[in-house]
Amino acid sequence: MPIKDFITELKEKAEKRFDEFQITEIDTISSIKEDAYLEKPTWVGGDTKYVCLFIDLNKSSKISFKKHPATMAKIYDYFTQTLVDVFNHDSFCADYVDIKGDGAFAIYEEEHASYKAFYAAITFRKIFEEKIKTKFKDDEDKNLSCKIGIHKDKLLVKKIGKRSDYNEVWAGRLVNNASKLAKEYQESPEKFNGVESPIIISEEIYKDFVVHPEFGLYNCHDGETDVLDQKNPVFTEVTDFSDDTLGDKFYYTQVGWCKYCADDYISKVN
């Protein structure tokens, strides 16, 4: 087909897709692969809110310039595969997982979505601090860290590509804002008072822990200190922030599992 005719055809198809664009309700995250349309200009979404946990390696482009390509590939492999394994753990298994460059994001649905995302985040952070960071950190990369963001919002997703080769594309605020929170650590590290690889959550996620503080215990083995305790707060509020969709604050934490807590925490949401 001549290029001129090809361009005309593309314009006509694009206009047709624009005119026929629509959004249809989705019943469950697990059905995205079946229900997200490929040929039709129909996105799936709706009013239901879901939770996204976004994690990737901090300043990976800067690190890659210093490393041999094989070494950098080894870091990516170790980091990303471990991340996906955490996302798929039986106790807080994500309903959808997608790889994004040197990181990944997970989508959670239903009643305990915020808590499962949080447990996955602190689990990966513990592995990162104790294993990944120490394994790959050297004199030039003393501050090897990761970015972690959790947000709750409506979703909008569609398959784009060819029938034999396509990706789910996420529009809307859910994944974008979880990523935006994670990047806040890279762009404004001074807001985190020296905490490395903080878990950053939006106001929407924080509200869930206010409703159920028992899911956010600071030290589960004593059973007394909770998310609202002012002496040992799980989440530190940051108000030096302004975003059109995330609002004027976010929260962060460096809380991790103690040797008693994992089974006790996880049993509450299963």
Report pLDDT digits (tens) over 13-34. Answer: 889 888 888 788 877 776 676 6
pLDDT digits (tens, 9 = 90+) for 95-107: 999 888 778 999 9
Q: Which position has the token pair 């482009």?
A: 61
DSSP-derived 3-state class of residue 2? coil
Check pLDDT > 80 for residue 232. no
Is the pTM higher than 0.85?
no
For residues 211-228, give the mean pLDDT.
54
For residues 170-186, give the mean pLDDT.
90
CB distance 37 to 44 below 8 Å: yes
Least confident stretch, 3-7, 129-133, 178-182, 220-224: 220-224
In CATH, the number for domain 3-267 is 3.30.70.1230
154 Cβ contact partners less than 8 Å away, ≥ 6 residues apart? 45, 46, 47, 48, 49, 50, 172, 173, 174
Residue type (1 letter), 218: Y
Percent of the chain at pLDDT > 70 equals 76
Give the model's confidence band at 79: pLDDT under 50 very low, under 70 low, under 90 confident, else very high.
Answer: confident
